[in-house]
Homo-oligomer: A and B are copies of this chain.
Amino acid sequence: MTKRHFVPKADIDYTKADFTSDQMVKWCPGCGDHAILASLLNVFPKTHHKKENICMVSGIGCSSRIPYYVDTYGFHSIHGRACAVATGVKLANPSLSVWINMGDGDSMAIGGNHLIHIVRRNLDVNVTIFNNEIYGLTKGQYSPTTKFGQITKTSPFGTIDYPFNPGELIMGAQGTFYARALDVMPPLTTEIMLKAAQHDGTSVVEVLQNCMIFNDKAHAAITDKAVRDDKIIILEHGKPMIFGKERNKGLRFNGRCLEAVTIGENGVTMDDIMIHDETTEDTGIHMMLARMKGDLPVAIGVIRNVVKPTYTELYEDQMDECKANGKYKCVDDLLNSGDTWEVE
Protein backbone atom coordinates (compact mmCIF):
# COMPACT_ATOMS: atom_id res chain seq x y z
CA MET A 1 0.00 0.00 0.00
CA THR A 2 1.39 3.37 -0.95
CA LYS A 3 0.73 6.46 1.10
CA ARG A 4 -2.24 8.39 -0.26
CA HIS A 5 -2.85 12.09 0.14
CA PHE A 6 -6.35 13.29 -0.47
CA VAL A 7 -6.41 17.01 0.25
CA PRO A 8 -5.73 19.16 -2.83
CA LYS A 9 -3.05 21.84 -2.70
CA ALA A 10 -3.79 25.45 -3.47
CA ASP A 11 -2.09 27.02 -6.43
CA ILE A 12 -1.71 30.35 -4.69
CA ASP A 13 0.08 31.33 -1.52
CA TYR A 14 -2.37 32.35 1.15
CA THR A 15 -1.68 34.72 4.01
CA LYS A 16 -3.17 34.81 7.47
CA ALA A 17 -5.59 37.48 6.29
CA ASP A 18 -7.10 35.06 3.80
CA PHE A 19 -8.32 32.94 6.66
CA THR A 20 -9.59 35.70 8.91
CA SER A 21 -13.39 35.85 8.88
CA ASP A 22 -15.54 38.97 9.05
CA GLN A 23 -17.21 37.93 12.28
CA MET A 24 -16.53 39.78 15.49
CA VAL A 25 -14.41 37.74 17.87
CA LYS A 26 -16.42 37.55 21.04
CA TRP A 27 -14.04 35.98 23.52
CA CYS A 28 -13.20 37.92 26.65
CA PRO A 29 -10.37 40.34 26.16
CA GLY A 30 -7.24 38.58 27.42
CA CYS A 31 -8.58 35.06 26.84
CA GLY A 32 -5.95 32.58 25.69
CA ASP A 33 -8.22 31.55 22.83
CA HIS A 34 -7.21 34.66 20.90
CA ALA A 35 -3.61 33.48 20.72
CA ILE A 36 -4.63 29.98 19.66
CA LEU A 37 -6.79 31.41 16.91
CA ALA A 38 -3.84 33.47 15.75
CA SER A 39 -1.62 30.39 15.70
CA LEU A 40 -4.18 28.51 13.66
CA LEU A 41 -4.59 31.33 11.19
CA ASN A 42 -0.83 31.23 10.77
CA VAL A 43 -0.78 27.49 10.17
CA PHE A 44 -3.31 27.33 7.36
CA PRO A 45 -1.19 29.18 4.77
CA LYS A 46 1.73 26.91 5.66
CA THR A 47 -0.26 23.73 4.96
CA HIS A 48 -0.85 24.95 1.38
CA HIS A 49 -4.20 23.21 1.47
CA LYS A 50 -6.84 24.67 -0.75
CA LYS A 51 -8.89 27.05 1.35
CA GLU A 52 -12.21 25.64 0.15
CA ASN A 53 -11.09 22.24 1.34
CA ILE A 54 -10.56 23.20 4.93
CA CYS A 55 -13.35 22.44 7.34
CA MET A 56 -13.41 23.46 10.99
CA VAL A 57 -15.55 21.35 13.28
CA SER A 58 -16.21 22.14 16.91
CA GLY A 59 -18.51 21.28 19.79
CA ILE A 60 -19.89 23.77 22.30
CA GLY A 61 -17.88 25.94 24.65
CA CYS A 62 -16.07 29.27 24.46
CA SER A 63 -13.32 27.64 22.43
CA SER A 64 -15.79 25.93 20.12
CA ARG A 65 -16.84 29.29 18.71
CA ILE A 66 -13.68 29.26 16.64
CA PRO A 67 -15.22 28.18 13.31
CA TYR A 68 -16.99 31.54 13.11
CA TYR A 69 -13.66 33.31 13.21
CA VAL A 70 -12.00 31.35 10.44
CA ASP A 71 -13.00 31.99 6.85
CA THR A 72 -13.35 28.37 5.77
CA TYR A 73 -16.17 25.89 5.86
CA GLY A 74 -17.18 25.24 9.42
CA PHE A 75 -19.53 23.27 11.63
CA HIS A 76 -20.26 24.43 15.17
CA SER A 77 -21.96 21.26 16.29
CA ILE A 78 -23.29 20.20 19.68
CA HIS A 79 -21.57 19.70 22.98
CA GLY A 80 -19.11 16.83 22.92
CA ARG A 81 -19.83 15.58 19.41
CA ALA A 82 -17.24 17.38 17.31
CA CYS A 83 -15.16 14.23 16.75
CA ALA A 84 -18.21 12.26 15.65
CA VAL A 85 -19.41 14.95 13.26
CA ALA A 86 -15.90 15.39 11.89
CA THR A 87 -15.61 11.65 11.31
CA GLY A 88 -18.59 11.83 8.98
CA VAL A 89 -17.22 14.89 7.22
CA LYS A 90 -13.86 13.29 6.57
CA LEU A 91 -15.20 9.86 5.59
CA ALA A 92 -17.73 11.34 3.20
CA ASN A 93 -15.14 13.57 1.60
CA PRO A 94 -11.50 12.58 2.24
CA SER A 95 -10.30 15.54 0.21
CA LEU A 96 -11.18 17.85 3.09
CA SER A 97 -8.62 18.95 5.63
CA VAL A 98 -10.59 18.62 8.84
CA TRP A 99 -9.75 20.55 12.00
CA ILE A 100 -11.50 19.66 15.21
CA ASN A 101 -11.51 22.22 18.01
CA MET A 102 -12.75 21.50 21.47
CA GLY A 103 -12.51 22.65 25.05
CA ASP A 104 -11.35 20.33 27.82
CA GLY A 105 -14.95 19.73 28.86
CA ASP A 106 -16.20 19.31 25.35
CA SER A 107 -13.48 16.84 24.43
CA MET A 108 -12.96 14.88 27.62
CA ALA A 109 -16.15 15.16 29.67
CA ILE A 110 -19.18 14.68 27.43
CA GLY A 111 -17.06 14.04 24.36
CA GLY A 112 -14.55 11.64 25.88
CA ASN A 113 -15.80 8.58 24.05
CA HIS A 114 -15.71 10.09 20.59
CA LEU A 115 -12.23 11.42 21.28
CA ILE A 116 -10.75 8.07 22.22
CA HIS A 117 -12.46 6.39 19.30
CA ILE A 118 -11.33 8.83 16.66
CA VAL A 119 -7.81 8.48 18.05
CA ARG A 120 -8.02 4.69 18.06
CA ARG A 121 -9.09 4.66 14.42
CA ASN A 122 -6.34 7.08 13.44
CA LEU A 123 -8.65 9.06 11.19
CA ASP A 124 -6.69 11.72 9.36
CA VAL A 125 -7.85 14.85 11.19
CA ASN A 126 -6.24 17.53 13.35
CA VAL A 127 -7.55 17.87 16.86
CA THR A 128 -6.87 20.90 19.02
CA ILE A 129 -7.87 20.77 22.67
CA PHE A 130 -8.15 24.16 24.36
CA ASN A 131 -7.33 23.11 27.91
CA ASN A 132 -8.22 25.84 30.36
CA GLU A 133 -9.03 23.26 33.03
CA ILE A 134 -12.52 24.69 33.48
CA TYR A 135 -15.93 24.96 31.84
CA GLY A 136 -15.70 28.48 30.49
CA LEU A 137 -18.97 29.03 28.66
CA THR A 138 -21.12 27.77 31.52
CA LYS A 139 -19.21 30.00 33.91
CA GLY A 140 -16.75 28.09 35.90
CA GLN A 141 -17.54 24.52 36.89
CA TYR A 142 -14.71 22.03 37.20
CA SER A 143 -13.78 19.99 34.16
CA PRO A 144 -12.07 16.59 33.83
CA THR A 145 -8.73 18.40 33.80
CA THR A 146 -9.29 20.73 36.75
CA LYS A 147 -6.58 20.30 39.36
CA PHE A 148 -7.38 18.07 42.31
CA GLY A 149 -8.75 20.00 45.24
CA GLN A 150 -9.59 23.13 43.30
CA ILE A 151 -12.52 25.25 44.38
CA THR A 152 -14.96 26.00 41.57
CA LYS A 153 -18.66 26.78 41.28
CA THR A 154 -19.58 23.13 41.60
CA SER A 155 -16.82 22.19 44.03
CA PRO A 156 -17.18 24.75 46.80
CA PHE A 157 -15.16 22.49 49.09
CA GLY A 158 -12.57 21.52 46.48
CA THR A 159 -12.82 18.83 43.80
CA ILE A 160 -12.15 15.23 44.70
CA ASP A 161 -11.91 14.19 41.06
CA TYR A 162 -8.46 13.23 39.84
CA PRO A 163 -7.89 14.98 36.53
CA PHE A 164 -7.18 13.30 33.24
CA ASN A 165 -3.81 13.92 31.69
CA PRO A 166 -4.86 14.38 28.06
CA GLY A 167 -1.60 12.99 26.72
CA GLU A 168 -1.89 9.80 28.71
CA LEU A 169 -5.49 9.38 27.68
CA ILE A 170 -4.66 9.83 24.00
CA MET A 171 -1.80 7.38 24.13
CA GLY A 172 -3.87 4.91 26.12
CA ALA A 173 -6.30 5.09 23.22
CA GLN A 174 -3.62 4.08 20.69
CA GLY A 175 -2.88 7.66 19.65
CA THR A 176 -0.28 8.16 16.93
CA PHE A 177 0.34 11.87 17.51
CA TYR A 178 0.23 13.87 20.67
CA ALA A 179 1.77 17.27 21.36
CA ARG A 180 1.43 19.88 24.06
CA ALA A 181 1.57 23.61 23.44
CA LEU A 182 1.14 26.85 25.37
CA ASP A 183 -1.19 29.70 24.45
CA VAL A 184 1.50 32.10 25.64
CA MET A 185 4.03 30.88 23.06
CA PRO A 186 2.19 31.37 19.76
CA PRO A 187 5.11 30.81 17.38
CA LEU A 188 5.85 27.47 19.04
CA THR A 189 2.16 26.61 18.89
CA THR A 190 2.11 27.38 15.17
CA GLU A 191 5.14 25.17 14.68
CA ILE A 192 3.56 22.32 16.62
CA MET A 193 0.26 22.67 14.79
CA LEU A 194 2.04 22.52 11.50
CA LYS A 195 3.66 19.25 12.51
CA ALA A 196 0.23 18.04 13.55
CA ALA A 197 -1.14 18.98 10.15
CA GLN A 198 1.67 17.11 8.47
CA HIS A 199 1.06 13.98 10.52
CA ASP A 200 -0.97 11.34 8.72
CA GLY A 201 -3.60 10.20 11.14
CA THR A 202 -5.27 11.71 14.14
CA SER A 203 -3.06 14.42 15.58
CA VAL A 204 -3.95 15.78 18.97
CA VAL A 205 -2.51 19.06 20.15
CA GLU A 206 -3.34 20.03 23.70
CA VAL A 207 -2.90 23.74 24.21
CA LEU A 208 -2.66 24.92 27.79
CA GLN A 209 -4.92 27.94 27.65
CA ASN A 210 -5.76 30.60 30.16
CA CYS A 211 -9.35 31.46 31.03
CA MET A 212 -8.83 34.74 32.76
CA ILE A 213 -12.39 34.95 33.99
CA PHE A 214 -13.01 31.58 35.59
CA ASN A 215 -9.63 29.96 36.04
CA ASP A 216 -7.05 32.68 35.78
CA LYS A 217 -3.42 31.59 36.04
CA ALA A 218 -4.29 27.90 35.95
CA HIS A 219 -1.07 27.27 34.08
CA ALA A 220 0.93 30.15 35.54
CA ALA A 221 3.08 27.85 37.66
CA ILE A 222 4.74 26.66 34.46
CA THR A 223 4.01 29.42 31.96
CA ASP A 224 5.05 32.47 33.94
CA LYS A 225 8.03 33.99 32.20
CA ALA A 226 9.98 33.98 35.46
CA VAL A 227 9.84 30.21 35.92
CA ARG A 228 8.99 28.93 32.47
CA ASP A 229 12.48 27.84 31.43
CA ASP A 230 12.86 25.65 34.47
CA LYS A 231 9.32 24.36 34.58
CA ILE A 232 8.94 23.25 31.00
CA ILE A 233 11.04 21.27 28.61
CA ILE A 234 10.62 21.72 24.88
CA LEU A 235 11.07 18.35 23.25
CA GLU A 236 12.58 18.00 19.82
CA HIS A 237 12.82 14.75 17.95
CA GLY A 238 16.36 13.36 17.85
CA LYS A 239 17.65 15.97 20.28
CA PRO A 240 18.68 15.45 23.90
CA MET A 241 16.09 16.38 26.47
CA ILE A 242 17.61 19.57 27.79
CA PHE A 243 15.93 22.40 29.67
CA GLY A 244 16.54 25.18 32.20
CA LYS A 245 17.50 28.81 31.89
CA GLU A 246 21.10 27.77 31.58
CA ARG A 247 20.16 24.81 29.40
CA ASN A 248 22.14 22.69 31.78
CA LYS A 249 19.34 20.49 33.04
CA GLY A 250 18.25 17.36 31.38
CA LEU A 251 16.25 14.17 31.69
CA ARG A 252 17.86 10.86 32.39
CA PHE A 253 16.23 7.44 32.33
CA ASN A 254 17.03 5.46 35.42
CA GLY A 255 15.83 2.07 34.23
CA ARG A 256 12.32 2.43 35.60
CA CYS A 257 11.45 6.07 35.14
CA LEU A 258 12.70 9.52 34.18
CA GLU A 259 14.59 11.87 36.47
CA ALA A 260 15.75 15.44 36.15
CA VAL A 261 19.50 15.93 36.43
CA THR A 262 21.93 18.78 36.13
CA ILE A 263 24.70 18.36 33.62
CA GLY A 264 28.02 18.76 35.31
CA GLU A 265 26.71 17.84 38.71
CA ASN A 266 27.19 14.41 40.32
CA GLY A 267 29.13 13.27 37.31
CA VAL A 268 26.21 13.74 34.91
CA THR A 269 27.31 14.38 31.34
CA MET A 270 25.47 15.04 28.12
CA ASP A 271 25.76 11.36 27.36
CA ASP A 272 23.44 10.53 30.22
CA ILE A 273 20.70 12.68 28.78
CA MET A 274 18.00 10.84 26.95
CA ILE A 275 17.45 11.57 23.27
CA HIS A 276 13.85 12.26 22.35
CA ASP A 277 12.41 9.77 19.92
CA GLU A 278 8.84 10.73 19.04
CA THR A 279 8.57 7.80 16.63
CA THR A 280 8.92 4.69 18.85
CA GLU A 281 5.86 2.49 18.64
CA ASP A 282 6.03 1.52 22.28
CA THR A 283 4.18 4.06 24.40
CA GLY A 284 6.11 3.50 27.63
CA ILE A 285 8.58 6.39 27.41
CA HIS A 286 6.05 8.71 25.76
CA MET A 287 3.69 8.09 28.64
CA MET A 288 6.42 8.97 31.10
CA LEU A 289 7.10 12.18 29.21
CA ALA A 290 3.44 13.15 29.04
CA ARG A 291 3.02 12.47 32.74
CA MET A 292 5.85 14.70 33.95
CA LYS A 293 5.11 17.41 36.49
CA GLY A 294 6.17 18.46 39.95
CA ASP A 295 9.91 17.85 40.18
CA LEU A 296 10.05 17.08 36.49
CA PRO A 297 9.50 19.77 33.87
CA VAL A 298 6.24 19.71 31.92
CA ALA A 299 6.90 18.44 28.41
CA ILE A 300 6.01 20.81 25.57
CA GLY A 301 6.24 19.98 21.89
CA VAL A 302 5.60 16.80 20.00
CA ILE A 303 5.75 13.89 22.41
CA ARG A 304 4.56 11.13 20.11
CA ASN A 305 4.45 10.95 16.33
CA VAL A 306 4.33 7.46 14.89
CA VAL A 307 3.47 6.21 11.45
CA LYS A 308 0.46 3.94 10.99
CA PRO A 309 -1.91 3.73 8.02
CA THR A 310 -4.79 6.14 8.51
CA TYR A 311 -8.45 5.20 8.65
CA THR A 312 -9.01 7.37 5.60
CA GLU A 313 -6.42 5.47 3.56
CA LEU A 314 -7.60 2.09 4.73
CA TYR A 315 -11.18 3.06 4.01
CA GLU A 316 -10.54 4.39 0.54
CA ASP A 317 -8.29 1.45 -0.34
CA GLN A 318 -11.01 -0.97 0.66
CA MET A 319 -13.61 1.00 -1.29
CA ASP A 320 -11.39 0.99 -4.37
CA GLU A 321 -10.72 -2.70 -4.09
CA CYS A 322 -14.41 -3.49 -3.72
CA LYS A 323 -15.27 -1.31 -6.67
CA ALA A 324 -12.65 -3.04 -8.78
CA ASN A 325 -13.75 -6.52 -7.79
CA GLY A 326 -17.41 -6.09 -6.96
CA LYS A 327 -20.00 -8.30 -8.63
CA TYR A 328 -22.52 -5.53 -9.03
CA LYS A 329 -21.84 -2.39 -11.01
CA CYS A 330 -25.16 -0.72 -10.32
CA VAL A 331 -28.21 -1.13 -8.16
CA ASP A 332 -30.13 -2.88 -10.95
CA ASP A 333 -27.51 -5.64 -10.81
CA LEU A 334 -28.07 -5.99 -7.11
CA LEU A 335 -31.86 -6.03 -7.36
CA ASN A 336 -31.68 -8.81 -9.88
CA SER A 337 -29.02 -10.87 -8.10
CA GLY A 338 -29.61 -14.27 -6.53
CA ASP A 339 -32.91 -16.13 -6.81
CA THR A 340 -35.38 -14.23 -8.97
CA TRP A 341 -38.09 -15.32 -11.37
CA GLU A 342 -40.30 -13.87 -14.01
CA VAL A 343 -44.06 -13.75 -13.78
CA GLU A 344 -45.56 -13.46 -17.23
Could you tell me which A residues sit within 8 Å of B by CB distance? 110, 112-113, 116-117, 120-122, 144, 157-158, 160-165, 168-174, 253, 255-257, 277, 280, 282-285, 287-288, 291, 308, 311, 314-315, 318, 321-322
Contact = CB atoms under 8 A, between A and B. Distances in A.
A164 B157 contact: no
Contacts of A165: 174
A163 B119 CA distance: 11
Contacts of A162: 120-122, 174, 308
Given A169-B116, A174-B165, A308-B162, A285 B314 contact: no
Contacts of A284: 256-257, 284-285, 287-288
A283 B168 contact: yes
Contacts of A116: 112, 116, 164, 169
16 contacts: A110-B113, A112-B112, A116-B164, A117-B144, A120-B162, A160-B315, A162-B174, A168-B171, A171-B172, A171-B287, A172-B173, A253-B255, A257-B282, A282-B288, A284-B287, A287-B287
A280 to B, nearest CB: 7
Contacts of A122: 162
Contacts of A120: 144, 161-164
A80 to B, nearest CB: 9
A188 to B, nearest CB: 25
Contacts of A318: 157-158, 160
Contact of A168 (B163, B174, B308): B174
A256 B253 CA distance: 9
A204 to B, nearest CB: 12
Contacts of A314: 160
A249 B74 CA distance: 56
Contacts of A253: 255
Contacts of A112: 112-113, 116-117
A91 to B, nearest CB: 11
Contact of A311 (B160, B173, B255, B308): B160
A162 to B, nearest CB: 6
Contacts of A160: 311, 314-315, 318
A62 to B, nearest CB: 22
A299 to B, nearest CB: 13
Among A253, A257, A283, A314, the most chain B Cβ lie within 10 Å of the Cβ of A283
